[in-house]
């Protein structure tokens, strides 16, 4: 259980700054409060993926479903493309750390 909390915290610690520093680097200019809010939301999403601790297929389905929703939003409002990037970054970080945790538990 202690290792799970460590991996959840690590996923959140990676995804939050990745989105916080990555969005401005990709050219998305957001207000400061919005940037912090989306960084926190991305960190929580990555932590939830690790918390659920499911298989790779289930992680891909969850992330893919959210990417489809974010892609539709991006298509309807091109200025909202940063949401797609947030979901992508958090999904990849959460999925990778979830699989690392599963591999450690199964060892």
Read off the pLDDT of residues 82-106 as tens digits, 9 standing for 90 and up.
889 899 999 999 999 999 888 888 8
pLDDT tens-place string over residues 12-66: 999 989 888 888 888 877 788 888 888 999 999 998 888 887 788 988 898 999 9
- pLDDT band at residue 1, thresholds of 50, 70 and 90? low
> How do the residues of the chain divide into helix, strand and coil, expressed in percent and rounded to 5?
90, 0, 10
Largest interatomic CA distance in the chain:
46
Cβ atoms of residues 7 and 97 within 8 Å: yes
Rounded to whole angstroms, the Cα distance separating 74 from 89 reads 16
Q: Find the Cα–Cα–Cα–Cα dihedral 26, 30, 34, 40, rounded to 10°.
A: 10
pLDDT at 87: 92
pTM of the model: 0.84
């Amino acid at each position: 259980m202690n290792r799970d909390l460590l991996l959840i915290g690590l996923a959140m610690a990676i995804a939050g700054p990745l989105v916080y520093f990555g969005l401005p680097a990709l050219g998305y200019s957001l207000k400061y409060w919005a940037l912090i809010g989306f960084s926190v939301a991305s960190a929580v999403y990555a932590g939830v993926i690790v918390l659920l601790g499911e298989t790779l297929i289930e992680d891909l389905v969850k992330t893919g479903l959210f990417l489809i929703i974010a892609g539709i939003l991006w298509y309807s409002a091109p200025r909202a493309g940063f949401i797609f990037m947030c979901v992508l970054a958090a999904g990849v970080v959460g999925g990778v750390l979830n699989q690392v945790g599963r591999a450690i538990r199964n060892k």
